[in-house]
C-alpha cells in the first residue's frame, strides 16, 4: 500500500472515530442529561435500555443512520479529504463553523460562567459543556458537515458518505417537523407537559435567543446540502416522505409501547415527570 494511501485511511478512520465518540456521547446525554426530555420516560418505565432503543429506532433514527455510516467509514474508508475549491461549499462550511463557534461561546457567556462555574465548579461545568453543547446534534453536524463540505467527498463514490447524508435528511426533516409542531402549538397557546421549556414562550422568548437562530441556520444548510449531494443518485422525495410519515407515527406508537412496557396505565405519552 502506498504511504499516502495509508495516511489517507488513517485520517478517514480518525475522523470517523472522533464523530462516533461524539454521537455516542450525544445519545447518552439525550437519555440521561440534565433537562433531557427522555429522562421522564426512563423514570416512568424504569427501563432505560428500552427508552434508548425506542429513541434510536424512531425519533433518533437519523442519527442512528449517521452512526452506521461512520462505522462503515471505519471499516472501509471511502471519503475523499482533498480540498474542494467551490466557493458555495466554502461559504456553507464557514457558516456551519460559525454556528459551532457561536454556540460554544454562547454557552459559556450565558450559562457556564454566570451559573455553572460559581455553583458547581470547573469539573461539573466542563462536563455539562461537553455533554450539552459539544455533543449536541447542532454542534456535531455543523462541525462534521462543515468539514465534509470542504472536501471532494462524493456520495456516488463513497457509500459511507451517502449513508451519512441519508441520516442527515432523516434527522433534519424530523427536526423541522418538531420545530413547526412546537412553534405552532405554543403560538396558539397550547402547552404539552414534556415539551422542551425553550419553546414555552416562542414569540416572547425563543425568537430572541441566539441558539434558536443557530439551530435554524444549521438545519437549513445541512438539509439543503445533503439533498443537493444526494439528488443525482438517491430518491430524495421518497426519503422526505418516509421521514414525515415516521414523524407522524412516532408519537402514538411510542406512547403505546411506553404504556405496554411500563405495565401501568399512563394518562398520556406526554405525561410530566
3-state secondary structure of 88: helix
Q: Is residue 258 part of a domain?
A: yes
**pLDDT tens-digit map of 207-228:** 888 888 999 999 999 999 999 9
For residues 10 and 37, give the distance between their C-alpha atoms in angstroms, rounded to a whole number.
Answer: 37
Check residue 262 and give its pLDDT: 58
**pLDDT tens-digit map of 175-204:** 998 888 877 777 766 655 444 556 666 777
Contact 79, 163 (CB under 8 A): no
For residues 159 and 233, give the distance between their C-alpha atoms in angstroms, rounded to a whole number.
Answer: 11
Check residue 52 and give its pLDDT: 81
Domain count for the chain: 1
Check residue 204 and give its pLDDT: 75
Q: Is residue 19 part of a domain?
A: yes
Q: Is residue 78 part of a domain?
A: yes
Nearest to 103 by CA among 145, 146, 139: 139
Q: Is residue 267 part of a domain?
A: no
pTM for the full predicted model: 0.87
Q: Is residue 160 part of a domain?
A: yes
194: CB partners within 8 A, 6+ apart: 37, 40, 270, 271, 272
Contact 211, 111 (CB under 8 A): no
Contact 268, 35 (CB under 8 A): no
Exposure b/e, 230-257, CB count within 10 A at least 16 = b: beeebebeebbeebeebbeebeeebeeb
Average pLDDT estimate for 258-271: 52
Q: How confident is the model at residue 268 (pLDDT cuts 50, 70, 90)?
A: very low
Task: Look at 24-28, 101-105, 246-250, 251-255 and tell me which has the smallest mean pLDDT.
Answer: 251-255
Check residue 207 and give its pLDDT: 82
**pLDDT tens-digit map of 116-126:** 999 889 998 99
3-state secondary structure of 266: coil
For residues 197 and 98, give the distance between their C-alpha atoms in angstroms, rounded to a whole number.
Answer: 25
191-197: Cβ within 8 A, 24+ apart: 192/270, 193/268, 193/270, 193/271, 193/272, 194/37, 194/40, 194/270, 194/271, 194/272, 195/37, 195/270, 196/37, 197/35
Task: Look at 134-138, 172-176, 190-194 and tell me which has the smallest mean pLDDT.
Answer: 190-194
* Residue for grid cell 433537562: 35
Q: Is residue 174 part of a domain?
A: yes
**Residue-number span of the structural domain to which 241 is assigned:** 3-262
Check residue 178 and give its pLDDT: 84
CA 76 vs CA 68, 168, 264: distances in Å: 12, 20, 46
66: CB partners within 8 A, 6+ apart: 23, 141, 163, 164, 167, 168, 171
Amino acid at each position: 500500500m502506498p504511504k499516502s494511501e495509508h495516511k489517507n485511511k488513517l485520517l478517514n478512520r480518525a475522523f470517523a472515530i472522533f464523530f462516533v465518540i461524539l454521537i455516542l456521547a450525544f445519545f447518552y446525554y439525550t437519555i440521561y442529561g440534565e433537562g433531557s426530555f427522555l429522562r421522564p420516560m426512563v423514570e416512568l418505565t424504569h427501563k432505560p435500555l428500552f427508552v434508548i432503543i425506542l429513541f434510536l429506532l424512531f425519533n433518533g433514527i437519523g442519527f442512528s443512520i449517521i452512526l452506521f455510516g461512520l462505522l462503515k467509514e471505519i471499516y472501509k474508508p471511502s471519503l475523499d479529504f482533498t480540498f474542494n475549491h467551490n466557493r458555495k461549499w466554502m461559504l456553507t462550511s464557514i457558516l456551519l463553523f460559525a454556528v459551532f463557534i457561536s454556540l460554544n461561546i454562547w454557552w459559556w457567556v450565558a450559562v457556564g460562567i454566570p451559573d455553572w462555574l460559581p455553583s458547581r465548579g470547573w469539573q461539573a461545568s466542563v462536563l455539562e459543556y461537553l455533554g450539552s453543547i459539544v455533543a449536541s446534534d447542532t454542534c456535531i453536524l455543523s462541525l462534521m458537515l462543515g468539514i465534509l463540505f470542504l472536501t471532494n467527498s462524493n456520495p456516488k463514490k463513497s457509500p459511507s458518505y451517502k449513508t451519512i447524508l441519508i441520516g442527515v435528511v432523516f434527522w433534519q426533516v424530523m427536526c423541522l417537523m418538531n420545530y413547526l409542531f412546537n412553534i405552532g402549538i405554543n403560538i396558539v397557546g397550547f402547552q404539552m407537559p414534556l415539551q422542551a421549556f425553550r419553546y414555552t414562550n416562542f414569540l416572547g422568548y425563543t425568537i430572541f435567543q441566539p441558539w434558536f437562530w443557530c439551530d435554524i441556520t444549521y438545519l437549513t444548510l445541512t438539509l439543503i446540502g445533503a439533498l443537493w449531494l444526494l439528488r443525482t443518485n438517491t430518491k430524495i422525495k421518497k426519503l422526505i416522505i418516509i421521514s414525515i410519515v415516521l414523524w407522524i407515527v412516532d408519537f402514538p406508537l411510542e406512547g403505546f409501547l411506553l404504556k405496554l412496557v411500563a405495565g401501568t396505565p399512563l394518562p398520556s405519552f406526554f405525561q410530566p415527570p
